[in-house]
């Protein structure tokens, strides 16, 4: 459960944070699905990467095609082709270049070759080949390195490999094996860790999708397990928006899914989101994010557009409660030592117990020296934070009043520098 936390005096270089979870109410997780213009060519299961707010799609459908989508103009361009045609390769963008590796050709032959695209010159170069080349891997870019995780073999086996490419040294290293060998997973980087969700364990039957949520920490080269995804599935289109991990569409034992679920890493919980169009759901969905929108490619032969999902912006409001009156008439004796700032929260008009990182600001509007008050003058360093939750959807901040002096004060609760609630009180 999230807590309302206040920093101690020794940490006053930073704002006083109210630490809650991010984007976990059902309404805040809803959003809108839309479509791109038609793709120049169908690319099932391509590698994807974002460079300068444009989406690069390489390979897929056993092709060596490279296309670029510009969301600003809803337009496509075709660029220089790769050397090798690939189905279900891994890839990602690092420092303005697109890295594509693994995948297989139409005959099932894997491609260990690493190809690197430079959009400045519209040309490809090569890098060190991946030690173990498979298809249907998860891939993620973290700390300037490309991580290629799991995958499937041609002998109906799924894999636990973690293979890491460093473009600085043009070399591959191995990480600790993934606890659950699988293929067709979604992946996203959150706080320097790689979350790998869903997938399947038998690539020959598609009958064993999983809902596991395993997290790789490169710093310790170790794995941990978090709350499982509610709906087991292979090939979810995944993306990180506003600190929340979305998983849309996918495949379950021969059935296409339109389910869209969102994971809150702060609370380690999942919630339902707006379902994907039914046509998004088939096998081998790929996804990538630009400007708060997840773009996904379907494998339906009848669908030549990308799908796009944009979560609704969460609008937060805080209502400050008694003992501070809404009309600003509350008066407290400064010598009592504290003023309780109680408030209730809402997101998009609905009550919630969860809020992103926020700050409390205090300004003297009448009395001695007017203007903002330094937080060191009203923080209570003895508090541990355990007493800040009043009830399920109310919070309290015990503001230290002993050194403030007589006057009138404005309290502001802020999220991302925007004020979401205010109150006025007086000290005597």
Per-residue pLDDT of 287-302, as tens digits, reads 799 999 999 887 665 6
Query: Can you name the residues that pair with 13 across neighbouring β-strands?
Result: none
The model's pLDDT over 338-373, given as tens digits with 9 standing for 90+, comes to 888 888 888 777 777 765 667 788 999 999 889 999
The model's pLDDT over 239-269, given as tens digits with 9 standing for 90+, comes to 999 888 999 988 887 788 889 999 988 789 9
Q: What mean pLDDT, rounded, does the chain reach?
A: 84
Tell me: pLDDT of 24 over 70: no
First to last CA, the chain: 37
Length of the chain in terms of residues written? 428
Return the half-sphere exposure (C-beta side, CA atoms, 13 A cut-off) of residue 132.
19
In this predicted model, which residue has the larger pLDDT, 326 or 211? Answer: 211
pLDDT at 242: 83
Cis peptide before 323 (omega within 30 of 0): yes
Confidence bin at 98 (pLDDT 50/70/90): very high
Q: What is the DSSP secondary structure assignment for residue 382, as one 8-state letter?
A: T
pLDDT at 386: 35
Tell me: pLDDT of 25 over 70: no
Region 199-220: what's the mean pLDDT? Answer: 92
The three-state secondary structure class of 315 is coil
Q: What is the C-alpha to C-alpha distance for residues 316 and 361, in angstroms, rounded to an integer?
A: 17
In the chain the domains, ranked by start, together with CATH numbers, are 9-19+315-427 (2.60.40), 31-311 (2.120.10.80)
Contacts of range 252-255, beta carbons closer than 8 Å, 24 or more positions apart = 252/209, 253/206, 253/207, 253/209, 254/206, 254/207
pLDDT at 221: 98
pLDDT at 2: 25
Q: What is the C-alpha to C-alpha distance for residues 76 and 67, in angstroms, rounded to an integer?
A: 7
Longest alpha-carbon distance in the chain? 83
Tell me: pLDDT of 126 over 60: yes
What percent of the chain has a predicted confidence (pLDDT) above 70? 85
Helix (H) or strand (E) holding 93: strand 90-94
pLDDT at 376: 82
Closest CA relative to residue 312, chosen from 257, 260, 268, 259: 260
pLDDT at 90: 96
């Amino acid at each position: 459960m999230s807590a309302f936390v206040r920093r101690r005096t020794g940490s006053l270089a930073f704002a006083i944070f109210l630490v809650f979870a991010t984007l976990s109410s059902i309404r805040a997780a809803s959003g809108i699905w839309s479509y791109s213009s038609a793709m120049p060519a169908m690319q099932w299961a391509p590698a994807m990467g974002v460079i300068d707010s444009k989406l690069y799609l390489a390979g897929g459908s056993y092709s060596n095609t490279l296309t670029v989508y510009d969301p600003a103009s809803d337009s496509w361009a075709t660029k220089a082709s790769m050397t090798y045609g690939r189905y279900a390769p891994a890839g990602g963008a690092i420092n303005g270049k697109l890295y594509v590796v693994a995948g297989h050709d139409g005959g099932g032959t894997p491609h260990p070759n690493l190809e690197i695209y430079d959009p400045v010159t519209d040309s490809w170069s090569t890098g060190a080949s991946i030690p173990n080349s498979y298809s249907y891997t998860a891939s993620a870019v973290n700390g300037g390195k490309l991580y290629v995780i799991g995958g499937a073999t041609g002998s109906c086996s799924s894999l636990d490999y973690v293979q890491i490419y460093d473009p600085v040294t043009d070399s591959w290293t191995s990480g600790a094996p993934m606890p659950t060998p699988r293929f067709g997973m979604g992946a996203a980087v959150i706080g320097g860790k790689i979350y790998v969700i869903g997938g399947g364990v038998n690539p020959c039957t598609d009958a064993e999708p999983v809902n596991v949520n395993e997290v790789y920490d490169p710093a310790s080269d170790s794995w941990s397990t978090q709350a499982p995804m509610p709906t087991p599935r292979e090939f979810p289109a995944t993306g990180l928006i506003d600190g929340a991990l979305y998983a849309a569409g996918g495949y379950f034992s021969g059935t296409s899914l339109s389910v869209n679920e969102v994971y809150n890493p702060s609370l380690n919980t999942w919630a339902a989101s707006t379902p994907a169009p039914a046509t998004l759901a088939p096998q081998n969905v790929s996804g990538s994010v630009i400007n708060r929108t997840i773009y996904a490619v379907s494998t339906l032969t009848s669908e030549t557009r990308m799908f796009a999902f944009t979560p609704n912006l969460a609008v937060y409001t805080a209502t400050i409660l008694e003992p501070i009156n809404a009309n600003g008439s509350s008066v407290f004796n400064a010598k009592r030592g504290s003023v309780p700032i109680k408030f209730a929260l809402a997101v998009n008009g609905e009550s919630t117990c969860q809020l992103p990182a926020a700050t409390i600001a205090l300004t003297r509007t009448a009395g001695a020296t007017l203007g903002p008050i330094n937080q060191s003058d009203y923080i209570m360093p003895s508090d541990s934070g355990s007493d800040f939750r009043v009830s399920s959807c109310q919070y309290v901040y015990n503001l230290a009043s002993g050194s403030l002096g007589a006057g009138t004060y404005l309290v502001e609760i802020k999220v991302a520098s925007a004020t979401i609630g205010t109150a006025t009180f007086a000290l005597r």
